[in-house]
Structure 1
Amino acid sequence: MARRQRGSSPTLSDVARHAGVSLATASRAINGSSTRTVGEDLAERVREAARELGYAPDANAQAMARGATQTIGVVVHDLTDPYFAAIADGMATAAREGRLFMTLATTGNNIDALSDVVSSLDSMRVRAIILVGARWKDDDLADTLGAAAGRYINRGGRLVTIGMELPGMDGVIVDNAKGSAQLAEHLFTLGYRRPLVLVGPVRHSTAAARSSAFVDRMAELGVEVDESHQISSDLTRGGGEVAMRLALESGLDFDVVVATSDVMALGALHEARRSGVRIPEDAGLTGFGDITSLRDVQPGLTTVRVPTDRLATLALDLALNGPGDGTGSQVVSVTPVVRDSTPPRT
């Protein structure tokens, strides 16, 4: 029988010989198996042999044996957006605490790429996939994404969403509508009566939920928001700049700008300053998300806080321990945070 050369890395065959077991038994003890198990005493003997020889298991071999890796795949739309970056960071922390690895993928704000990304992660045999994003009004997207997700789940994978909903799949749902309604109540109490709403993209269901809930609650309080004061634009800093510029060029009369995301609000703030509009003296300003970079913004931005760490923790727990059939979805509350960008109006 060939002996291992001095200085070469130990192999699984070396471990099997050292433990006095077959190669198949050593593989099942080290890599695991989706069909057969090894008694604990024998498994410990093999593991002890591996430690003595300094053998390092092959992650790919373990994935083939178990049918999945100890890796979770996390998909976000835009890693440069502080909101998505905060959730990704929370996922990394939760994964590390659970002794899991994390593969991070981004669609680059191309929502149509979601199904391809899911298929790629499926081919990598990740243990679970967590989609972080938003709901979109697109039947074709829902069909292609649903098909890719279905193939992955049928192979034994677990898929969970954050901020978006897929039929038959567990998700962590942000209560956007309630947060926006509460924001409307705060602004009404502070004396604001002429809001300008930056509603986000037409196809973006999450942005639509935030803006429509705000408009509806204001209407219940007696303040009608005309359609001319609901401007659609990208849910980005650039989108906020464009929407604010359109409002100013159109000569719209408003006393507060309500953006459906924090980055959009920051874009509106930049354009307001460039155009000579003082925030908050001439008009108030609000966002949604409470991203960490707001700490450096002056005046402090009134927003709706989304607990990103909690979203990440709940999503990972659902992915590993949830029912996996859509019945385990959880709703997370959000909280308006009033700061200097919306002082009382007289």
Structure 2
Amino acid sequence: MSAPTPIPTPDAPLPRPTGPVTLQQVAERAGVSSATASRALHGSSGTRIVGEELRRRVLDAARELRYVSNAPAQALARSTTSVVGVVVHDVADPYFAAIAAGAMGVAREHGLLVMLAATFRDPELELDYLARLRAQRARAVVLAGSGFADREFTRRLAAEVDAYRADGGHVVAVGEHGIASDTVRPANRSGAALAVRHLHDLGHRDFGIVSGPRALTTVRDRLDGARRQLRSLGVPLPPAQVIDGGFTREQARVAARTLLTRAPDLTAIVVLNDVMAAGVLAALRDDLGLRVPDQVSVVGFDDLPFAADLNPPLTTVRLPLADIGARAMDMILTGPTIEPRTLDLDTELILRNSTMPPR
């Protein structure tokens, strides 16, 4: 026959529960209802306020039992957390690092925690991250990576965004994603047109373009802006003189060598981001023995911090990258609206030493 369970007396400490401590156990230890214990520990958006004496009893009981608040449960009770997801393609890419830094600066000022996720340009990962953030009741998500020019993916992304919004979340996109969401839209088309006009005004007529993966809407928009501007100026652009540089330095270096093999007489290259432009400059200078800008002029895109330190310093189209992230976070702070909003951010051309009139 087992010994009877001892009955605690007021002078004897209550036994500590085994296993995870629940809110109900804290409430019983403090001698209050579970609702009062919840308000004392987690606050409340309602009008009922817990008195100081009761709050102290609950806090003492929680400390004694080593109670740990269940954050997901509290998020469910409050509908959202203070977490904002920022989804990028590559955290090592300075383009995305600058956007994320702008978003984080605003988030810090308002007590929000930014969770950064990288998709490595895998659209399935983007859908997965969005679904996970919705399950965790994240307050909002900034889709900072480029959209994908794929109808089926866009349909699935739109459905996930709609579900996120139906659960009370807020989605802000950077650039064109083909979804009904607030959008911060960089001037990719007009920026590329600006690069072409600059080179044309200098007297260049033989152009090449080092592009990126055509599946990305950012690449599509920049390439479209450059092509439209060339057509309006009456300058031909043979398909062989548009080559994919993979949005990486090394792939762009190979692409530049291929481009000059196909078109040895071209005098101007528009490169659709600065990371690739660094590879193009290395190929021209070190692999092909060509002088920039004496023999070939080069214009980049984004104005990343290292662009001014390249050899030669790079003429490039500047996007306000940190401001893009900050404005996206501002949209989150003001909350969603019935009709999605679009904020257009302009570009400017930064003149350095990688361009000059053709000789």
**When the two structures are superposed, what TM-score results if normalisation uses the length of structure 1?**
0.86
What is the aligned partner in structure 1 of residue 160 from structure 2?
148
**Whole-angstrom CA distance in 2 between matches of 1:315 and 1:168:** 15
Letter in 1 for 2:247: L
Matched, 1:118 2:130: yes
Could you list the runs of 4 or more consecutive aligned residues of structure 1 that deviate by over 6 angstroms after TM superposition?
A: 10-20, 43-56
* Matching residue within 263, 279, 298 for 2:292: 279
Matched, 1:200 2:209: no
When Rg is computed on C-alpha atoms for both structures, the one with the higher figure is 2
% identical equivalent positions: 35
Query: Structure 1 residues 293, 314: CA separation in 2 closer, same or farther (over 3 Å shift)?
Result: same
What is the aligned partner in structure 1 of residue 268 from structure 2?
256
What is the aligned partner in structure 1 of residue 146 from structure 2?
134
What is the aligned partner in structure 1 of residue 5 from structure 2?
none
What is the aligned partner in structure 1 of residue 324 from structure 2?
311
- Per-residue CA deviation, residues 27-50 of structure 1 (Å, 9 max, x unaligned), is 1354356xx7243x5377776777
**Whole-angstrom CA distance in 1 between matches of 2:29 and 2:308:** 59
Query: Structure 1 residues 38, 194: CA separation in 2 closer, same or farther (over 3 Å shift)?
Result: same
**Whole-angstrom CA distance in 2 between matches of 1:268 and 1:306:** 20
Contiguous gaps of at least 5 residues in structure 2: 1-7
Q: Helix, strand or coil: the match of 2:114?
A: strand
- What RMSD, in angstroms, separates the aligned Cα atoms of the two structures? 2.9
Equivalent residues of 1:133, 1:162 under 8 A apart:
yes
**When the two structures are superposed, what TM-score results if normalisation uses the length of structure 2?**
0.84
Query: Structure 1 residues 46, 59: CA separation in 2 closer, same or farther (over 3 Å shift)?
Result: farther
Query: Structure 1 residues 151, 344: CA separation in 2 closer, same or farther (over 3 Å shift)?
Result: same
**Whole-angstrom CA distance in 2 between matches of 1:208 and 1:75:** 20
Residue 340 of structure 1 and its aligned partner are, at CA, apart by 0.6
Letter in 2 for 1:23: S
Matched, 1:177 2:189: yes
Contiguous gaps of at least 5 residues in structure 1: none
The alignment covers a number of residue pairs equal to 340
Matched, 1:37 2:46: yes
Residue 249 of structure 1 and its aligned partner are, at CA, apart by 2.4
- Per-residue CA deviation, residues 281-336 of structure 1 (Å, 9 max, x unaligned), is 22111111111222421211111111112111111122232434553121111111
Summarize the alignment of residues 100-111 of structure 1 with structure 2, pairs less than 5 Å apart. Answer: 100-111=112-123
Equivalent residues of 2:89, 2:120 under 8 A apart:
yes
Q: Which moved more, 1:276-285 or 1:70-79?
A: 276-285
Matched, 1:227 2:227: no
What is the aligned partner in structure 1 of residue 282 from structure 2?
270
- Per-residue CA deviation, residues 252-273 of structure 1 (Å, 9 max, x unaligned), is 3211110111111112112222
Equivalent residues of 2:39, 2:50 under 8 A apart:
no
- Per-residue CA deviation, residues 173-193 of structure 1 (Å, 9 max, x unaligned), is 111111122222222222222
Matched, 1:69 2:81: yes
**Whole-angstrom CA distance in 2 between matches of 1:130 and 1:47:** 38
Equivalent residues of 1:115, 1:149 under 8 A apart:
no
Q: Helix, strand or coil: the match of 1:104?
A: strand
Letter in 1 for 2:198: H
* Matching residue within 247, 250, 262 for 1:238: 250
Letter in 1 for 2:95: Y
